[in-house]
Structure 1
Amino acid sequence: MKEINCEAFQGKVNDLLIRHRSILDVLSKYHESNSRVNRSVAKSVTNCGCLSINAAKEVDSLEMEPEEFYSSRETHLAGKLCDSCKEIIEMELGNNLFYFVALCNILDLDMEEILKKEYGKISALGKFNLT
């Protein structure tokens, strides 16, 4: 497969986004694609069963050292995606990425610049960037 960069992907999305070019269309399609990602993950638990969720309240303690706190975090997932669920989730995430980039295009934003800024932010803040 040809090597892809952000600029090439953003250009291809721009070329292909003909029918739903309105900001309202893109926002609603992006929202819908988020829901489809969530639904496909849920179906891997409820319909297929390749994943299961075992969630409980996580204990937070002010006395915990940063490394201990980080290592105590759970994904609450057990199992591994089967090939079928993996394929579906990858497809839905791809659609989600398409509409994310379409939104960038309509708002005249550079996806690579967004990635660089976010990378800089999370690099500076480290493990505590999303607390």
Structure 2
Amino acid sequence: MKDLLVDEFQHAVADCLIRHRSVLDVLSKFQEANARVHRAVAKAVTSCGCIRIHAQRPQIPAHSTLRDLKALMDDHIEGELCESCREVLEEELGTQLFYLVALCNLFDINTFDLFIKENRKLSTLGMYHIS
């Protein structure tokens, strides 16, 4: 079922992508979408204030193991996105996803197969996967 949804989305992207079909256009639009995701997060902090970013150097005890790191590391986000900011971020992430799939289409990469491949890496390497 999931593979059908991903394949359907990939075909829909292929059908919709008419004007920006060049790989250079798609790369440019993908980069623009990335910037808009960053801006949506920044606006949630600076304009709305529904979330705050409180970042500092992590305090990791010398005797900590790699398994301890997950509990010791912080995402630096305080609060939750309000409905308005969540909608904006979801919209921008959707656009980013559209252009990511468009890149997959241009290079004849099946998006679902890519998900499977990356999931296998995560399953095999676990926390040792470089992220």
TM range (shorter): over 0.9
Between 1:100-109 and 1:66-75, the stretch displaced more is: 66-75
Counterparts of 2:80 and 2:46, CA distance in 1 = 14
Counterparts of 1:62 and 1:78, CA distance in 2 = 27
- 1:107 is aligned to 107
1:26 corresponds to 2:26? yes
Counterparts of 2:47 and 2:128, CA distance in 1 = 35
Gaps of at least 5 residues in structure 1 are none
The Cα of 1:65 is off from its aligned counterpart by 2.6
TM-score normalised according to structure 2 size: 0.92
TM-score normalised according to structure 1 size: 0.92
Contact 2:60–2:72 (8 Å) recurs in 1: no
Counterparts of 1:11 and 1:69, CA distance in 2 = 40
Using the aligned pairs only, state the percent identity.
45
- 1:119 is aligned to 119
The Cα of 1:125 is off from its aligned counterpart by 1.2
- 1:36 is aligned to 36
Gaps of at least 5 residues in structure 2 are none
Counterparts of 2:58 and 2:128, CA distance in 1 = 17
What is the CA RMSD across the aligned residues, in angstroms? 1.6
